[in-house]
């Protein structure tokens, strides 16, 4: 599929089969950085092999670390004990938010000089809240072009934590994740971080805390807005667990779970289940609210059609604070629901790989859906009748956003074939998506 300008799929009637999920992007990039910062060698299994995780791997190699990719999605990382060997580097971070943000914080603790840049869209994605948090402890970080956005330049600085570190939590949870992962390196005394305002995407913080604990740093949470990092007892703060197996990606699971509802199923995803540490497993609960029949085990979830008498999903109103990425899948699943579906608390969509609220609204309207969008919500209603479904000759635009391409594959279960532009953008997190999709649809 590589390099194809577009792909035409559907119309499909049935989805059934099983899929082994690629590794979680969120877990993979956190685990790579923690393994790099720890003492000892870490073998990472089922590590996601996609653009965003290759960005992190390449950055770590530039910083002087041994990061060796082996067969069967295994990666071996030699830790540096908290001090990167290279003290000066110019790092290209693509459009990987899960790479640039935690790495910025870790680099600010190093006493070196670093520059981080990315693709044009990365230079439109905010980083101010993280930089403000880091400046509170003495980090020297300057914006190269536009205030509040990459590219950024980090200069050697004397890091001293004299007070509570405060960070906003309402734009992206990745800023808090970055501080949580980096500040243990300089915690001569216990460090308290307080979140100002609402903390969105709390499940992603839980991933961070659980992975930090695997590497030997246990953060206390005295209340919902506060985090206390323990004082370090040696310069080598993080300790390798030896091996760590990466769960399947729960966000990627959402497309196949939705297929199981829309296409009758059964569709089973393997690699993520009831024991998952990822918040996006709650997508299955949202799908159940819409009437899908869900079964789940420790590391699998299966969807077998819908239980509603009319055979359709039903529209819902739902707060998506906890599942911002998987919520996009609900927006397209709404094409197959009776009544409107309203997704609330999705302001973070505006600052992702593209403005996802605007993009989703525009592309759904091309198909014939009735859509209303607001600053932090979207309401989607199916086309009024089969004849109102459209197959736009110009195709569905994907905005170099992997999730737009994967979400809109579901719309090929409407009455028409559908052209999706730039399908290869899925390489960001799931390079084989359309091949796996083809295996379960007919």
The DSSP secondary-structure symbol of 248 reads: B
Whole-angstrom distance, CA of residue 173 vs CA of residue 164: 18
Maximal CA-CA distance, the chain: 68
Whole-angstrom distance, CA of residue 36 vs CA of residue 94: 20
Residues 6+ apart with CB under 8 A from 38: 79, 81, 82, 215, 216, 236, 238, 239, 240
Which among 129, 249, 325, 401 is annotated as catalytic?
Answer: 325
- Please give the C-alpha separations between residue 441 and each of 91, 112, 290, 304, in angstroms, as whole numbers: 41, 52, 21, 14
Burial class (CB in 10 A: 0-12, 13-18, 19+), 432: middle
Cβ atoms of 32 and 67 within 8 Å: the answer is: yes
Whole-angstrom distance, CA of residue 379 vs CA of residue 436: 29
133-160 as b/e: b if 16+ CB within 10 A: bbebbebebeeeeeeebbbbbbeebebe
Residues of the binding site: 25-26, 30, 97, 125, 172-174, 201, 325, 352, 356, 403, 428
Residues of the binding site for phosphoenolpyruvate: 25, 97, 125, 174, 356, 403, 428
Could you check whether the bond before residue 338 is cis, i.e. omega within 30 degrees of 0? no
Cβ atoms of 69 and 57 within 8 Å: the answer is: yes
CA angle in degrees (0–180, nearest 5) for 425-429-435: 70
End-to-end CA distance of the chain: 19
Tokens matching residue 325: 């990425």
325 a catalytic residue: yes
Residue 384 has a CB neighbour count (10 Å cut-off) of 11
Residue 275 has a CB neighbour count (10 Å cut-off) of 11
Q: What's the order of all strands across the beta sheet hosting 292-296?
A: 15-20, 264-270, 300-306, 292-296
Residues 6+ apart with CB under 8 A from 114: 88, 89, 90, 91, 107, 153, 154
Whole-angstrom distance, CA of residue 426 vs CA of residue 246: 20
DSSP SS3 for 91: strand
Residue 27 has a CB neighbour count (10 Å cut-off) of 28
Catalytic residue numbers, as ranges: 325
């Amino acid at each position: 599929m590589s390099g194809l300008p577009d792909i035409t799929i559907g119309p499909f009637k049935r989805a059934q089969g099983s899929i082994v999920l690629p590794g979680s992007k969120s877990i993979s990039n956190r685990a790579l950085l923690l393994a790099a910062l720890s003492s000892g060698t870490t073998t990472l299994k089922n590590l996601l092999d996609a653009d965003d995780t290759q960005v992190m791997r390449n950055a770590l190699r530039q910083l002087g670390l041994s990061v060796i990719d082996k067969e069967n999605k295994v990666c071996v990382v030699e830790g540096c004990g908290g001090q990167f060997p290279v003290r000066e580097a110019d790092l290209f971070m693509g459009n990987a938010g899960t790479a640039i943000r935690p790495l910025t914080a870790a680099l600010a603790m190093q006493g070196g000089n670093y520059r981080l840049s990315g693709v044009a869209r990365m230079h439109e994605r905010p980083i101010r809240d993280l930089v403000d948090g880091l400046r509170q402890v003495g980090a020297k970080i300057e914006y190269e072009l536009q205030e509040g956005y990459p590219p950024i330049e980090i200069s050697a600085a004397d890091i001293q934590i004299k007070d509570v570190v405060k960070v906003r939590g309402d734009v992206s949870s990745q800023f808090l994740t970055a501080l949580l992962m980096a500040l243990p390196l300089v915690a001569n005394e216990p460090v308290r971080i307080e979140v100002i305002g609402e903390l969105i995407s709390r499940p992603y913080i839980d991933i961070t805390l659980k992975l930090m604990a695997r590497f030997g740093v246990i953060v206390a949470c005295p209340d919902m807005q506060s985090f206390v990092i323990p004082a370090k007892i040696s310069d080598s703060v993080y300790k390798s667990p030896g091996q760590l197996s990466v769960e399947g990606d729960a966000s990627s699971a959402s497309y196949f779970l939705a297929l199981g509802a829309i296409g009758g199923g059964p569709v089973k995803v393997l690699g993520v289940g009831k024991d998952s540490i990822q918040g996006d497993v709650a997508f299955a609960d949202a799908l159940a609210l819409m009437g899908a029949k869900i079964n789940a085990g420790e590391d699998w979830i299966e969807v077998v059609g819908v239980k509603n008498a009319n055979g359709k999903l039903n529209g819902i109103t739902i707060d998506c604070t906890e599942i911002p990425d998987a919520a996009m899948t609900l927006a397209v699943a709404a094409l197959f629901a009776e009544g409107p579906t309203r997704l609330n608390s999705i302001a973070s969509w505006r600052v992702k790989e593209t403005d996802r609220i605007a993009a989703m609204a525009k592309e759904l309207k091309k198909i014939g859906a009735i859509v209303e969008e607001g600053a932090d919500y979207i309401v989607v209603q199916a086309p009024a009748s089969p004849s109102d479904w459209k197959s736009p000759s110009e195709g569905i635009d994907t905005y170099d956003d992997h999730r737009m391409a994967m979400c809109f594959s579901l719309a090929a279960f409407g009455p028409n074939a559908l052209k999706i532009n730039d399908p290869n953008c899925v390489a960001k997190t799931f390079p084989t998506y359309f091949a796996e999709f083809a295996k379960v649809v007919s």
